[in-house]
Amino acid sequence: MAEEDLSEMAKDVELHLKLDPPLSANNKPSRSFKTSSSSSPPPCDTSHVLENVLENVLKFLESRRDRNAVSLVCRSWYRVEAQTRSEVFIGNCYSLSPARLARRFTRVRSLFLKGKPRFADFNLMPPDWGARFAPWVAVTAKAYPWLEKVTLKRMFVTDDDLALLAASFPGFKELVLLCCEGFGTSGVAVVANKCRQLKVLDLIESEVTDDEVDWISCFPEGETHLESLSFDCVESPINFKALERLVVRSPFLKKLRTNRFVSLEELHRLMVRAPQLTSLGTGSFSSSTENAGQGEQEPDYASAFRACRSLVCLSGFRELAAEYLPAISPVCANLTSINFSYANISPDVFRPIIRNCHNVRVFWALDSICDEGLQAVAATCKELRELRIFPFDPSEDSEGPVSGLGLQAISEGCRKLESILYFCQRMTNVAVTAMSENCPQLTVFRLCIMGRHRPDHVTGKPMDDGFGAIVKNCKKLTRLAVSGLLTDKAFSLIGEYGKLIRTLSVAFAGDSDMGLRYILEGCPKLEKLEIRDSPFGDAGLRSGMHRYNDMRFVWMSSCRLSRGSCSDIARALPSVVVEVFGSDDDDVDVDEDNADYVEILYMYRSLDGPRKDAPKFVTIL
Amino acid sequence: MDDYSRNGEISPKLLHLIPQGRRRNWFHNDQASVYNKEEKNLELKLGPPGEDDEHIKKEPKDKTTSQKRTAPGRVVGWPPVRSFRKNLANGSSSNGVDVKNQRCGDDNGRAKTMEPKRQGGLFVKINMYGVPIGRKVDLSSHNSYEQLSFTVDKLFRGLLAAQRESSSFGEEEKPITGLLDGNGEYTLTYEDNEGDKILVGDVPWHMFVSSVKRLRVIKTTEISSALICTYGNGKQEKMRS
Contact B85 A461 (CB under 8 A): no
Which chain B positions have a beta carbon within 8 Å of A559's beta carbon?
A: 19
Indicate the residue of A319, A405, A457 with minimum beta-carbon distance to B4: A457
Query: Given a cut of 60, is residue B27 above it in pLDDT?
Result: no
Query: Given a cut of 70, is residue A336 above it in pLDDT?
Result: yes
Q: Which of A474, A339, A502 has the alpha carbon at shortest distance from A418?
A: A474
Return the pLDDT at A429.
98
A593 touches chain B (CB under 8 A): yes
A341 touches chain B (CB under 8 A): yes
Return the pLDDT at B161.
78
Distance of alpha carbon A271 from alpha carbon A216, whole angstroms: 17
What is the nearest CA distance from B145 to chain A, expressed in angstroms?
Answer: 17
Indicate the residue of B16, B32, B155 with minimum beta-carbon distance to A397: B32
Query: Given a cut of 50, is residue B151 above it in pLDDT?
Result: yes
Query: Given a cut of 80, is residue B44 above it in pLDDT?
Result: no
Most confidently modeled range among A200-204, B112-116, B146-150: A200-204
A476 touches chain B (CB under 8 A): no
Indicate the residue of A289, A425, A450 with minimum beta-carbon distance to B118: A289
Question: Where residue B40 falls among pLDDT bands split at 50, 70, 90?
Answer: very low
Task: Please tell me the least confidently modeled range out of A8-22, A423-437, B192-206.
Answer: A8-22
What is the nearest CA distance from B149 to chain A, expressed in angstroms?
Answer: 14
Return the pLDDT at A45.
58
Q: What integer is the mean pLDDT of B2-6?
A: 37
Most confidently modeled range among A118-132, A223-237, A285-299, B151-165: A223-237
Q: A359 Cβ partners below 8 Å, 6+ apart?
A: A333, A334, A335, A336, A383
Indicate the residue of B5, B93, B123 with minimum beta-carbon distance to A293: B123
Burial of B169 (0-12, 13-18, 19+ CB in 10 A): exposed
Return the pLDDT at B227.
58
Across chain A, what does the average pLDDT equal? 89
As a whole number of angstroms, the longest Cα–Cα distance in chain A is 89
Q: What integer is the mean pLDDT of B153-159?
A: 82
pLDDT digits 0-9 by tens, B66-81: 333 333 456 888 999 9
Q: Which of A389, A434, A443 has the alpha carbon at shortest distance from A416?
A: A443
Give Cα A389 to chain centroid, integer Å: 17
Which chain B positions have a beta carbon within 8 Å of A489's beta carbon?
A: none
Contact A394 B7 (CB under 8 A): no
Return the pLDDT at B34.
38
Question: Where residue B101 falls among pLDDT bands split at 50, 70, 90?
Answer: very low
Indicate the residue of A119, A321, A535 with minimum beta-carbon distance to B93: A321
pLDDT digits 0-9 by tens, A39-88: 455 555 566 777 788 888 887 888 888 888 888 888 888 888 888 888 99
Which chain A positions have a beta carbon within 8 Å of B131's beta carbon?
A: none
Return the pLDDT at A41.
52
Task: Please tell me the least confidently modeled range out of A192-206, A503-517, B28-42.
Answer: B28-42
Contact B98 A370 (CB under 8 A): yes
CA distances from A462 to A57, A171, B33, B123 (A): 53, 56, 17, 49
Query: Given a cut of 50, is residue B172 above it in pLDDT?
Result: yes
Contact B77 A124 (CB under 8 A): yes
Query: Given a cut of 50, is residue A381 above it in pLDDT?
Result: yes
Q: What integer is the mean pLDDT of B215-229?
A: 75
Q: Which H, E and C letters describe A442-509, residue by residue? A: CCEEEEEECCCCCCCCCCCCCCHHHHHHHHHHCCCCCEEECCCCCCHHHHHHHHHHCCCCCEEEEECC
A107 touches chain B (CB under 8 A): no
CA distances from B33 to A103, A375, A454, A533, B30 (A): 56, 31, 10, 17, 6
Residues 205-234 of B with CB under 8 A from A: 213-214
A127 touches chain B (CB under 8 A): no
Higher pLDDT: A467 or B184? It is A467
Question: Where residue A382 falls among pLDDT bands split at 50, 70, 90?
Answer: very high
Return the pLDDT at A416.
97
Which CATH fold would you assign to the domain B123-163+175-229?
Ubiquitin-like (UB roll) (3.10.20)
Phi, psi dihedral angles at B136 (to 5 degrees): -130, 145
Higher pLDDT: B132 or B241? It is B132
Task: Please tell me the least confidently modeled range out of A147-151, A580-584, B12-16.
Answer: B12-16
What is the nearest CA distance from B120 to chain A, expressed in angstroms?
Answer: 7
Contact B46, B27 (CB under 8 A): yes
Distance of alpha carbon A504 from alpha carbon A514, whole angstroms: 16
Residues 368-407 of A with CB under 8 A from B: 368, 370-371, 390-401, 403, 405
B83 touches chain A (CB under 8 A): yes
Calculate what percentage of chain A has a pLDDT beyond 70.
Answer: 89
Residue boundaries of the structural domains of chain B? 123-163+175-229
**Nearest chain A alpha carbon to B14:** A511
Q: What integer is the mean pLDDT of B188-194?
A: 87
Question: Where residue A586 falls among pLDDT bands split at 50, 70, 90?
Answer: low
Higher pLDDT: B174 or A123? It is A123
Which chain A positions have a beta carbon within 8 Å of B233's beta carbon?
A: none
Task: Please tell me the least confidently modeled range out of A135-139, A167-171, A198-202, B73-77.
Answer: B73-77
Return the pLDDT at B75.
81
Query: Given a cut of 50, is residue B57 above it in pLDDT?
Result: no
Query: Given a cut of 80, is residue A583 above it in pLDDT?
Result: no
- Sheet containing strand B186-192, strands side by side: B131-138, B123-128, B212-219, B186-192, B197-199
pTM for this one? 0.71
Return the pLDDT at B41.
41
Contact B5 A458 (CB under 8 A): yes
Mutate to test the interface with A, among B51, B87, B136 (most CBs of A within 10 A): B136
Contact A190, A157 (CB under 8 A): no
**Nearest chain A alpha carbon to B24:** A583
Distance of alpha carbon A215 from alpha carbon B59, whole angstroms: 46
**Nearest chain B alpha carbon to A427:** B4
CA distances from B84 to A204, A584, B88 (A): 12, 21, 8
Question: Where residue B166 falls among pLDDT bands split at 50, 70, 90?
Answer: low
pLDDT digits 0-9 by tens, A85-112: 889 999 999 999 999 999 989 999 999 9
Phi, psi dihedral angles at A611 (to 5 degrees): -75, 155
Higher pLDDT: A50 or A522? It is A522
Query: Given a cut of 60, is residue A487 above it in pLDDT?
Result: yes
Return the pLDDT at B89.
65
Task: Please tell me the least confidently modeled range out of A126-135, A451-460, B228-237.
Answer: B228-237
Return the pLDDT at B49.
46
Distance of alpha carbon B21 from alpha carbon A346, whole angstroms: 45
Contact A183, A158 (CB under 8 A): yes
Query: Given a cut of 50, is residue B21 above it in pLDDT?
Result: no
Contact A597 B93 (CB under 8 A): no
Give the 3-state secondary structure of residue B216: strand
Question: Where residue B210 falls among pLDDT bands split at 50, 70, 90?
Answer: confident
Question: Where residue A592 falls among pLDDT bands split at 50, 70, 90?
Answer: low
H/E stretch holding B134: strand B131-138
